[in-house]
Amino acid sequence: MLILKTRNELFDFIQYINAKNLSLGFVPTMGALHDGHLSLFKRAIEDNQYTIGSIFINPTQFDNQNDLLKYPRTVEDDINKLESVGCDAVYIPGVEDLYPNGLECDTIAMNGLDLVMEGEFRPGHFQGMATVVKRLLLQINPTRAYFGEKDFQQLQIIRHMVCALKLPVEIVGMPIIRESSGLAMSSRNMRLTPDFKKKSIFIYQSLLKAKELSSHYTPQKVVSKIEKMYLNTDLKLEYFTIVNEETLLTANTFDDCKNYRAFIAVFAGDIRLIDNLQIR
């Protein structure tokens, strides 16, 4: 596997791919890779002649500096995992390769998709994320790029950005990979205490409960029932909401011809976890 550490090294690889007109799959990550990430790589490898991943902890998408400092860094281990699944190349750029003019974000129109949920509770997060994804897409010029539904709001924002900027890439959304307990895999899980790891199983259970309740109750009623359930746990609920999958706007009713998804953010101690589930 090629390990490309600068924009110049990446450029030679991309020139080779473009000259031969090969299809290229791209999986952007922040590292600390787990089976959720690897599912994206496996699919990219199946779909394309070549696959490249990136590992870059993007400073501009962290609204909390402590979270940035404590974000797990396991590059050697990540490289071994990517090699073992048969990835062709990994781009591990420095900050200057993506932010040559300092840590300024581009202004990217998101049509309100960034104003709710993660956007509301993590100011600036999506401008930072979209800036780095846009710059990576422009540098790599992939045929397809792969994103997990674990970050469903991010996926919808990227779809919108790619369409608005007319970037010539197909965006592929991939299902959430969970541990056998139901807990959605996340790089942040490795920072959970064993006690909170056990307690966090409740997150997926509450999403399943919401799905069950949604066949009998209005969205608001489902939300209030779930919120009450969290009062009896050690998890601190930041938000639980049910939205239209396409617009990400709060659902007032369940309309049979639309898709609805429940989204949740909780603090397990000082670790912030998110999850979501299509409920209708």
Cα-Cα end-to-end distance for the chain: 42
- Our CA angle for 16, 20, 25, nearest 5°, is 75
150: contact with ligand AMP by CB under 6 A: yes
Give the one residue of 110, 133, 162, 174 binding ligand AMP; rule: CB under 6 A: 174
Among 117, 132, 161, smallest CA distance to 274 is for 117
Residue number, 136 or 210, with CB nearest to ligand AMP = 136
Give the one residue of 78, 114, 151, 275 binding ligand AMP; rule: CB under 6 A: 151
Residue whose beta carbon is closest to ligand AMP: 148
Give the one residue of 165, 177, 201, 229 binding ligand AMP; rule: CB under 6 A: 177
Stretch that binds ligand AMP, among 30-38, 92-100, 104-112, 117-125 (CB under 6 A): 30-38
137: contact with ligand AMP by CB under 6 A: no
In the 3-class helix/strand/coil scheme, how is 210-270 assigned residue by residue?
Answer: HHHHCCCCCHHHHHHHHHHHHCCCCCEEEEEEEEECCCCCECCCCCCCCCEEEEEEEEECC
Site for ligand AMP in 33-92 (CB under 6 A): 36-37, 39-40
- Phi, psi angle pair for 248, to nearest 5°: 65, 20
Residue number, 150 or 160, with CB nearest to ligand AMP = 150
Q: Which residue is associated with the tokens 């994206």?
A: 40
- For 212, 229, 273, the CA distances from 278, given in Å and listed in that order, are 11, 20, 18
The answer to whether 261 touches 243, Cβ cutoff 8 Å, is yes
171: contact with ligand AMP by CB under 6 A: no
Stretch that binds ligand AMP, among 93-101, 132-140, 146-154, 228-236 (CB under 6 A): 146-154
**What is the C-alpha separation between 127 and 217, in angstroms, rounded?**
36
Stretch that binds ligand AMP, among 65-73, 147-155, 163-171, 203-211 (CB under 6 A): 147-155
Residue 216 designated active-site: no
Stretch that binds ligand AMP, among 18-26, 29-37, 222-230, 255-263 (CB under 6 A): 29-37
Residues 6+ apart with CB under 8 A from 46: none
Kindly state the helix (H) or strand (E) to which residue 140 belongs, with its residue range. helix 125-140
Residue number, 184 or 213, with CB nearest to ligand AMP = 184
Q: Output the smallest distance, CB 276 to ligand AMP, in A.
A: 11
**What is the C-alpha separation between 64 and 123, in angstroms, rounded?**
10
The answer to whether 146 touches 40, Cβ cutoff 8 Å, is yes
128: contact with ligand AMP by CB under 6 A: no
**What is the C-alpha separation between 92 and 85, in angstroms, rounded?**
18
Residue number, 163 or 252, with CB nearest to ligand AMP = 163
Residue number, 208 or 227, with CB nearest to ligand AMP = 208
Q: Output the smallest distance, CB 23 to ligand AMP, in A.
A: 20
184: contact with ligand AMP by CB under 6 A: yes
Query: Which amino acids are annotated catalytic?
Result: 37
Binding site for ligand AMP (CB under 6 A): 29-30, 36-37, 39-40, 147-148, 150-151, 174, 176-177, 184-187
